[in-house]
Structure 1
Amino acid sequence: MEGEPKQISYGEYIGTLPNPTSLTRFILPPLEGTAVLHLDLKLALAIVERVLGGKGDPVDDEDVRPATAIEEKVVQRVMEDLLQALRAAWIRVVDFDPTFTTSESIPYYLQLSQMADDIVIAVDFKVVVSDEFGVLLEGDLSICYPYILLQPIASSLKASQLFGSSSGTSLSDEIRNGLEKVKAPIRCNLVRDKLRLQDLLEMEIGDVLTFRTNLEQAAEVVIGKTSVFWGRPGTLGRRYAVRVESFISPDDQSPSTLEDVAENILQEGTGKSNTTEEE
């Protein structure tokens, strides 16, 4: 989230939106009224292309256009998870069931409120889509609630209720439970070496690359961008597998051999045994 939620006029909010853009109305029963989710149109078009099997490269300014009806439906399907996250964020205050209704590309036709001076609550976010190699897509997202929509629950918007837990567990436990479900990319580096740029430019299909990596060297298991384990590659049933042998120490500058890993494990076990006997 970029900054704190803002209390501004509806006219001010509309004035901050580009034209055309991607606007999707949604309802939050039992609350009466409509809120809106705004997604950067360039980001929306790139997401649609990726979902439909394309590369999903960033869209140039000259290629920006209003989304078609089919593309708007695709965006809504992608944003369904966001609505469920929104529901979970509000659950301590009110249990609503958010549902997308209609879409709009021109802010003037949004008609979220009757008067330009009406008060709305706007929350801005920065959306970044990335992989292990860097940022793929990025853009802005905002959610706008008319104040009249939130007025029935305004008295409940207190810190003690927002940050308290309705289930009896602490907020830190709930955050941890949520983080434990996040999927982290993992890979195993079996070999590593350096290649001259000239060899790279002259490479052709069918060429064989040779590495100076010893087959007895432990494979490096990387989670996200961090080297975490030394492992022994092999198979498990009909799948390739890696057995974790030890954690990678911050002092490790180069891959260990499997014998070194085994010796370190043995020494650690012996050290723990001696400490127990002394106690």
Structure 2
Amino acid sequence: MPDPEQEKKPSVPGGSNPAQELTQEEIDQLLAASQAAANSVGGNGPIFDCRGNRFDRTNPPRVEPYDFSNPTVLEEHLLRILRQRHGEFADLLAARLSLYLRLDVTLELQSVSTQVYRRFAASVRNPSHVVLFKLEPLNGVGVLEIAPTLGLAFVDRMLGGKGESDPDATALTEIEMNLLDDVLLVFLEEWARIWGSETPLTPSLLGRESGGRYLQTSASDTIMLVAVFDGTAGSSTERIQVAIPFPSIEHLVRGMSALLPAPEDEKPEHSTEWRPIYNNIPIPLSVEWDACELTVKEILDLKPGQVIRLPRQIISDTRVRLGDVSRFTGEIGVDGDHLAVRIDKTTSQEDV
């Protein structure tokens, strides 16, 4: 009878011995060969699209890395809007804090991105000063992180100091945290304004943490909108980052795209269709010339019966006005029993 263990042995397709086992060396060679083919985007390995069509080697595709653990949920034009809004916010907040603290404060935007919550929580330093907040009437809890050294610089200035802090500080006292809350509320009030909500967003502080290790304000796979700034006050320059669950503000972000001007190639053309009702609209027509110049005394001396001599060439430089717009130029003359103007050319707006 055949050995059942023998029948379970893997075989090599097309090999001389169908029951031959792969050695570890052969397995390593196969893995190395497949890895080399996968890495040969610009080399000798074939590249196929999602439909199984092979790319032409003379026109290889542009390959970009994609992090499936940190999906991007915003289109590039929306990210541009958010970066612009946050850049303007940074300038306004820096000016407001400088007046509030009577201290030179600068705020520079570093990035605006979307991250899953677990990645954002891992980026929060330990120790740090973390404030949990809510923007009423939106759902979801936001997170604002500020380095203790920068927070203490704000507190020092509020207490009458020069805005200095201990670079080795890792924690704030209860009194210092209460004072810093006033500055952070100013931050959140200005940040709430960038969303352009018809209903005013009112920030409120919910609690504090000393780092990101135990943050559990959202599910681990929740998409967060994260803005990172570099803040400077006195001699301290540290990172500030603010994050809020993207589902809470998605409708506001999507609404921002409606405020963008349409691209040039998408702007609707003005209709030039003529309507019969236009035919009976009366438009006053007049003619005019640039005749001559008179001094103020000569104008004051004008009396009925006097003759003003005009240059002969103005006859061929007669302007025809339609309403208040100079539309044509031509030459005035006599046609039977009437004065007439022969139109020679259309007047452009630059010639007026």
Q: TM-score, normalised by structure 1?
A: 0.50
Q: Which has the higher strand share?
A: 1
Question: Which one has more relative contact order, counting CA pairs under 8 Å at least 6 apart?
Answer: 1
Q: TM-score, normalised by structure 2?
A: 0.40
